[in-house]
Structure 1
Amino acid sequence: MTDASRAPPLRILHVFRAPLGGLFRHVLDVARGQAERGHQVGIFCDATTGGTRAAAVFDELAQTLALGITRVPMSRYPSLTDLRAQLAEMALRRRLAPDVVHCHGSKGGVYGRVPALLAPGRRYVTAYTPHGGSFNYKPGSTEHKVYMTVERLLEGATDIFLFESRFIAGRFEAHVGHLPKTDHRIVLNGISEAEFEPIDHGEAGFDLLYLGELRSAKGVDTLIDALALLHRRDGLKPRILIVGSGPDETELKEMASARGIADQCVFEPPGPIRKALAQARVMVIPSRAESLPYVILEAAAAAQPLISTDVGGINEIYGPHHRQRLIKANDPTILAESIRTMLARPEAERLAEAADLAAHVRRHFRLDSMIDGVIAAYRDALATRRAG
């Protein structure tokens, strides 16, 4: 029997805002894995986002998480709603008496760590995973400076920082002014063995796929400009499936129409990633900002041919032997040329390159390693706090 299996189970509360995107995927994977290892786990998050997909996931999880799922209204930007959500979090924490409060994202980091700031002698530990959040939000702006001031204030209420990429650890150091003075470590996002099954493109009806949020940071406007350039300059009209939702959806549809490429673009709401991957031969990620995106991890693991910009921690996923394939962000001309070149390559060559990247991801981004690394960090932080 290992030391980990002899240790008593932990009571763990995950605190975050929106049940959407990669952050939500990360919390679900960690929470499920912790519950499977015998720990008592709960979730506290927003009640106004996530829609039917989040509701279905929570219904499926309800019998698995011993500490339950608590949802209250939260706002993306600072507002009076924050006070009500903060009071709800504090009441839940007192009732559940967790050993660990694991905060995710900027808003979750506030809700979970403000009470800890006021309780230096607490017996529970606070863990914090930024997931990009405010560190990627308009660097240099007044809002960003305010957010970084909050991060400095809450550093002392954080027992352990769990960065999901080296990139975000570097952003913390650059914008806060130093690496965390308390315990900090990098625990890379990981994916399950089932996700390494290669995608069958036998029924693919599209040349290209974009999957993600429809907002400025994701660079979908750059992709539309690149497609318009291919049409105008080279007479090429690759069909693209755009899967996602977000605040810029209407604007992007209007942009595709204005550029004369609306007939090439099909927009669909979010859905299962492997179903989307099977519908297109090449995936394109034109982001301006990322942390360590699950969409890249999942597509790479499934041996999906990829075109991606070199932002955030994406080069950590690609590794030293593949990162030269990444392209500059926010440049339609470069993106158009990458699309033209990729689609002109023989399919066997594209798939061989994709399989090579999948093998790299399999070696470095494993789900079990992520879950075990997070639990080990909790236990180290608990030992330090209780010894103190």
Structure 2
Amino acid sequence: MPQLVRIITRMNLGGPARQIEALTPRLCELGFATTILCGPPIEREGELEAEARAGGAELVRIPELQREVGLGGELRARGALRAALARLRPDLVHTHTAKAGWHGRAAARSLGIPCVHTFHGHLLHGYFGCVRAALYRAIERRASRRCAATIAVSRRVREDLIAARIVEARQCTVIHPGLELERFSIAARAPLFPSETLRLLFVGRLVAVKRPLAFVELVHALLRAGIDVEARVLGDGPLREEMLARSAALGLGERCQLLAPTREPSEHFGRCDVVVGTSVNEGLPLALVEAQASGRLVVATDVGGVREAVEHERTGFLVPAEDPRALLEALRRVARDRESAREIAAAGRTSALLRFAAARSAQEHAALYREILAQGRSS
């Protein structure tokens, strides 16, 4: 059985870690044994260690793989990853997230181990100023030359990476995320729009690129427009206190509740009508796919690979990210015509179940792995 090592900065509740959680047992069935190398968790962020182990993975902590940036720490992280790979001697390495990707690819190449890297998104827009963005591009270009292949989670991510000359077109393939969506079937049975109150949900890390403050402002604008709204925010992050302060300043009170991130978001999906995405940059957000699988309506900004999960007016609603009133107008439309919204949400569920199944994604990953391993044997 080929030995696969995955490297990720943290096995938190974010999209990359949830992808690993979903793929591990499926790839085991397809003949790939998995070991996960990851850094330590961060307080209040949540973690999927137990779920990964239950799926058949061995999980090895790399204490040096920290979120903080510093030359000494980066050198220690790379050295620790190289030592772990030298001990494990896997057939293939697959890296995820920026820091784990940079160091993991370098460590694998130094040992002659073929490596795959997944871009679950990128940091080209919405994260850095000009100088840091240029440095990021330079680092990623160098790291990508160390890869046997790269994976983009959406066509838009692939196009952006090629345009930025980070990857070559022949080197990069698109594999859409896959999830075990059957777990959301109970949420899908919960009624949609059971009352006049419009129940909104925001799911994601509370960081600038996700724009949680824009969600708070949206709730306030809907209330001022005379629409009865209850909103929940499911997540945590550095903007937590600022978001709470802004909600209090607007007098939202219980109208906008902050909830801790959870391993099983399905119960929260079942208690809402609309899941709102406010990001300025996305790869392909799993929360929106899960919302669709739960039979909820998705209203989101048209950024990154969102349109590959949400087709405007057929499986959800997309709005321009640069128009501050667009989300408000879309939700006013939903409030006026809830029957059409129910039909669109139902179409979204059908689409998600067909296109984002874990089994399909695992098969595509396994095919790529086998191709890379076969090339290594023939060279």
TM-score relative to the length of structure 2: 0.90
Cα distance between partner residues in 1 of 2:129 and 2:17: 27
> Match of 2:240?
249
Cα distance between partner residues in 2 of 1:286 and 1:134: 17
Q: Which amino acid aligns with 1:343?
A: A
Alignment of 1:1-388 (within 5 A): 9-20=1-12, 21-49=14-42, 53-54=46-47, 57-62=48-53, 64-65=55-56, 67-79=58-70, 80-119=72-111, 122=112, 124-136=113-125, 138=127, 141-176=130-165, 179-180=168-169, 183-195=171-183, 197=185, 198-201=188-191, 207-232=199-224, 234-271=225-262, 272-319=264-311, 322=314, 325-346=317-338, 348-388=339-379
| Deviation (angstroms), 1:358 | 1.6
Cα distance between partner residues in 1 of 2:357 and 2:95: 22
Structure 2 unaligned residues grouped into runs of 5+: none
Which digits, 9 at most, give the CA deviation of each residue in 1:183-237, with x for residues without a partner? 33111112225146224138898611111111111122222222222333x2334
In the alignment, is the contact (CA less than 8 A) between 2:315 and 2:348 conserved in 1? no
| Deviation (angstroms), 1:321 | 6.8
Comparing 68-77 with 185-194, greater Cα deviation is found at 68-77
Cα distance between partner residues in 1 of 2:208 and 2:46: 23
Q: Which amino acid aligns with 1:92?
A: A
Q: What is the number of residues matched between the two proteins?
A: 372
CA shift in 2, pair 1:162/1:135, >3 Å: same
CA shift in 2, pair 1:331/1:10, >3 Å: same
In the alignment, is the contact (CA less than 8 A) between 2:179 and 2:356 conserved in 1? yes
| Deviation (angstroms), 1:362 | 2.5
| Deviation (angstroms), 1:47 | 0.7
CA shift in 2, pair 1:88/1:48, >3 Å: same
Cα distance between partner residues in 2 of 1:176 and 1:19: 29
Q: CA RMSD in A?
A: 2.5
CA shift in 2, pair 1:58/1:324, >3 Å: closer
Which digits, 9 at most, give the CA deviation of each residue in 1:37-88, with x for residues without a partner? 342210011113275842xx42354365464433424333532322222211
Identity %: 23
CA shift in 2, pair 1:180/1:82, >3 Å: farther
Comparing 27-36 with 299-308, greater Cα deviation is found at 27-36
